[in-house]
């Protein structure tokens, strides 16, 4: 992940945005797993206690945080896919226009 963040800092433009989105996705996946572990741990602690502790509010907060992280992850994945398709379209249009210019006798300097 550090190399990924270094690449993002070095560049700008669509490629850097794709790297940034991928970096965020790589960050969010472990966060979701960690939230799942915390929820599981709280539930297990509650089951093991002789005296019932009211951990439900904490479990609900963790589950709510997990839901928000997953939602953000989905939004980022969709945005990354749209960006990938847009970059592909731009590249195709660039090739097409370059071919038209070269066919017309224009020489780029």
Q: How many CA atoms, within 13 angstroms, populate the side-chain half-sphere of residue 85?
A: 5
- Give residue-wise pLDDT tens across range 21-64: 667 767 777 888 888 888 888 888 877 777 667 778 888 888 88
pLDDT at position 85 = 92
Q: Which residue in 87, 83, 93 sits closest to 25, CA to CA? A: 83
pLDDT at position 107 = 56
Mean local confidence (pLDDT), 62-78: 87
pLDDT at position 96 = 92
pLDDT at position 91 = 92
Distances (CA, A) of 20 to 50, 76, 81: 48, 10, 13
3 vs 89 pLDDT, higher one: 89
Q: Where are the domains of the chain?
A: 1-52, 54-108
């Amino acid at each position: 992940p550090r190399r990924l963040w270094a690449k993002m800092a070095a560049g700008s433009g669509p490629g850097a945005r794709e790297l940034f989105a991928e970096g965020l996705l790589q960050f969010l996946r472990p966060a979701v797993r960690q939230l799942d572990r915390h929820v599981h741990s709280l539930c297990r602690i509650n089951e093991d206690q002789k005296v019932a502790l009211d951990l439900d509010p904490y479990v609900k907060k963790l589950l709510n945080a997990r839901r928000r992280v997953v939602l953000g992850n989905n939004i980022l994945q969709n945005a990354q896919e749209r960006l990938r398709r847009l970059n592909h379209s731009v590249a195709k249009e660039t090739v097409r226009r370059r071919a038209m210019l070269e066919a017309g006798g224009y020489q780029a300097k």
